[in-house]
Structures are given as structure tokens and as C-alpha cells.
A = this chain, B = another copy of it.
């Protein structure tokens, strides 16, 4: 299996750091160059073995890299891509790991120079924890990774990127950026917004009585706010649609409770219980 001479990771947080660790573990890269704004975080990433060299200068990090991974918050991906395209060698493949795809992929594809390839990716891994200190070479094990394919996606590059994700043990699924954003609005962005609204609804004094239910349902509200702001701004229409659907389902249950409709309530709870047990552990 192929070992790349140099892979560059821009942004060594949970995703970038974990990918670095996984690339090393599975011998996918001889050298990993890490770029970041924060010298101490870069040093920590190097100490943990996620990167081999620390760079505050993007040009140095990108230079001669076979693969360049942009693993920053969604709002910064396109800006970095623009710069990366100036420094990347001919034939290099640029990928991102952003949580929304339509706007990022279309922006980047418009600015991409010929001779350099871009493949938009989204590993569905991670948690409410962020930062290099939570990084793990196992993060992608058995998780899905979506590759956002468009008419402009180079087939050879797509195959290479697919192979990299599979070698770090992710289950790769290929779909359009729009299909990705619709899917993620429901399975990820909606739960996040709901969780935040729940935290706002519970009074500070009541939180100390929280048992498992409240703890679980609000866990993702502890996620990184900037990352989630960017997600909401770049997947607005889908998230609003998901919220509307959600409110209809909530109103339906509320109506059963309001009318003391015992069998209606039971039906809703049974259906949810059964549906979840079929689809999730």
C-alpha cells in the first residue's frame, strides 16, 4: 500500500490531530507537516505524534505535500483553500473535513486552479470534545466518512482519498454535497440546535438535579460554539426545514398530552422506542 512522502494537516484539533495519529499508525505518510496559529498546540500535536513538523508558515507546510488536509472550522476552510492552491505542487490533492459541504465545495471548486485536485470530505466522527488533547488514532474506526462528489471531482483523486479514509478504518459513503447537507441537517445539526435550546430552557438552579436523561440530551451543547455557528450559517435552509419538521412532531405529542390522550401518547413513545432500537444500539 502506498506511503505518501508528505501530508500536510492544516488545523491540528480533534479531527486534524486524530487524522495525523491515524495516518502515522497505518503508515500512510512518511512525514506529516502540521500548520496552525498556536505554537503550543502545534508542539502538543508533535509531542503526541500526530505531526512530525510544526509550521506557523502555510507555504512551508504545504510545499511538496502530496495531500493537504484542511481540518479547520467550516468558516475558515475556503480561505485556507485559496492560499493552499498558491503553494501546492502540481498533482497534489487538497481535502477538507468540514461539517457542511455544499457552500464549501462550490466555493473551492470555483477557485481551484488546474493541475491541483480537490475532494470534499466529512468524517462523521468526534464529539462535544474538541482540541488535540482528545485526539485518538481510533477516532475514525468504524465511523462513516462522507465524500462529497460533484461533476468536477477528479475520479483518480477520489479513489486515492477514499483509500486513505478506508485505511484509517472509516466506512466511506459517496454522495452529492446537497445530499450530504440535507442528511446532516437532520442527524447532526438539528440535534445540536435542540440541545442548545434545552440548556436555555432549564434554569440554572434545576441543573444540579440532572440525571442521565438531561446529561445525555444536552451533551452536544458543550461543543465548540464557533464551529457550530459556521455550520448553521452554511446549512441554513436545511436546518430550518429540519427545525420545522421537528416542531410538527413535538406539537403532535404535546397535543396528545394536552387532551390526555393516553393511547396517542403511548403510540408515539412506542414508535420512537421501536424505531430507535431498530436503527441504533
Contacts and interface: CB of A to CB of B under 8 A. Distances in A.
Interface of A: 124-128, 143-144, 146, 173, 183, 186-188, 190-204, 206-226, 228-229, 232-233, 236, 239-240, 242-243, 245-247, 249-250, 252-254, 256-258, 260, 262, 265-266, 268-273, 275-281
A250 B199 CA distance: 11
B126 A212 contact: yes
Contacts of A266: 225-226, 229
A240 B220 contact: no
Give the oligomeric copy count: 2
Contacts of A220: 212-213, 216-217
A204 B240 contact: no
Given A193-B250, A220-B213, A187 B202 contact: yes
A131 to B, nearest CB: 14
A182 to B, nearest CB: 9
A210 B6 CA distance: 33
Given A250-B243, A269-B225, A273-B222, A279 B209 contact: no
Most buried by B among A127, A198, A218, A223: A198
B216 A187 contact: no
Contact of A221 (B243, B246, B272): B272
A11 to B, nearest CB: 19
Contacts of A146: 209
Nearest to A127: B212
A158 B186 CA distance: 48
A232 to B, nearest CB: 5
